[in-house]
Amino acid sequence: MAKTENQKAWFFVLPVLILVAFNAIIPLMTVVNYSVQETFGNNDFFWAGVVWFEEILHSSRFHDSLMRQLTFTFTILAIEIPLGVIIALAMPRKGPWVPVCLILMSLPLLIPWNVVGAMWNIFALPDIGMLGRMLNEMGFDYNFTRQVGDAWFTLILMDVWHWTSLVVLLAYAGLVSIPDAYYQAAKIDGANSLSIFRYIQLPKMKRVLTIAVLLRFMDSFNIYTEPFVLTGGGPGNSTTLLSIDLVKIALGQFDLGPAAAMSLIYFLVILLLSWVFYTLMMRNEEQ
């Protein structure tokens, strides 16, 4: 007997498709339209072809921003993923301290992004900020508003404080899903802590860590509010990431064509690197 399909289910999906169209597809098509046209004002547009894409791809400004973005992203991934796993391993699995630890880990994620940037800007000021004064009193010549190394240190420290909690919560979810029978069997076999982590805990956390890496990669590549509020892209252009540079071109210079082309290249870079991350991590899991 042939199975009949109920096409009425599409009516439940239709509102979602319409919402996605208005929030994603239509703005994307608008950006594509701007990326192949030139305007001289008065809402008059002229066909420009791929000239803006060639200009962006050959621009040293774009290359510098991309390198700063890649440096920032891979630095925070190298810190936050291992640190999040270590904290998750140290958290209790049972008892009254579990909700306390989970709430404490969730607090940084609840703070709005602009507030995080403002908090760390005040916290790190060399004259009145607690972090800035403490480092200077310890003998360090710290001033994130003037020195490039200090600006990068503060920016990475702020992101680690803000987003490591996400990795902790995901890794902890993977750990608590492991049945006690696994640990009992490992105890009978005389396995040490390192062996338990390598052969039991890490394999069970691979899927959630894949999600954590992808989320943190995409979010760090799109980051704008926190570094803009903290450093404004300075000193100079030393912390001008791709998102900040894109806003400067689009709103500061009002170059709609180059900004649209850059945003599409930006999108394709994120899409490509996310696909590479996912493919490599899934291939490792299958092996």
Q: Which residue segment(s) compose the domain that 268 sits in?
A: 54-286
Q: What is the pLDDT of residue 284?
A: 61
Establish if 143 belongs to a structural domain: yes
Q: How high is the mean pLDDT in each 10-residue block of the chain (287 residues)?
A: 64 80 80 83 77 91 94 95 94 89 92 92 91 92 93 96 94 90 86 87 87 90 92 91 91 86 92 86 65
Sign of CA dihedral 180, 186, 191, 196: negative
Q: What is the pLDDT of residue 63?
A: 93
Structure tokens at 258: 């180059």
User: Within 10 Å of residue 151's Cβ, how many Cβ atoms?
Assistant: 24
Structural element, H or E, at residue 84: helix 60-90
Establish if 249 belongs to a structural domain: yes
Backbone dihedral angles phi then psi of residue 126, each to the nearest 5 degrees: -65, -25
Q: What is the pLDDT of residue 3?
A: 59
Q: How far is residue 170 CA from its own chain's centroid?
A: 15
CA atoms within 13 A on the CB side of 81: 19
Distance in angstroms (rounded) separating the CA atoms of residues 158 and 135:
16
Distance in angstroms (rounded) separating the CA atoms of residues 78 and 75:
5
What HEC string does 100-139 produce? HHHHHHHHHHHCCHHHHHHHHHHHCCCCCCHHHHHHHHCC
Establish if 186 belongs to a structural domain: yes
Reduce the DSSP state of residue 238 to 3 states and report it.
Answer: coil
Number of helical (H) and strand (E) elements in the chain, helices listed first = 14, 2
Establish if 84 belongs to a structural domain: yes
The DSSP call for residue 7 is G
Establish if 241 belongs to a structural domain: yes
Q: What is the pLDDT of residue 281?
A: 75
Sign of CA dihedral 238, 155, 74, 242: negative
Q: What is the pLDDT of residue 77?
A: 95
The DSSP call for residue 241 is -
Establish if 130 belongs to a structural domain: yes
Q: How far apart are the first and last CA of the chain?
A: 40
CATH, residue 130: 1.10.3720.10
Sign of CA dihedral 203, 204, 205, 210: positive
**Tally of domains in the chain:** 1
- Beta carbons of 133 and 126 less than 8 angstroms apart: yes
Distance in angstroms (rounded) separating the CA atoms of residues 31 and 256:
9
- Beta carbons of 129 and 123 less than 8 angstroms apart: yes
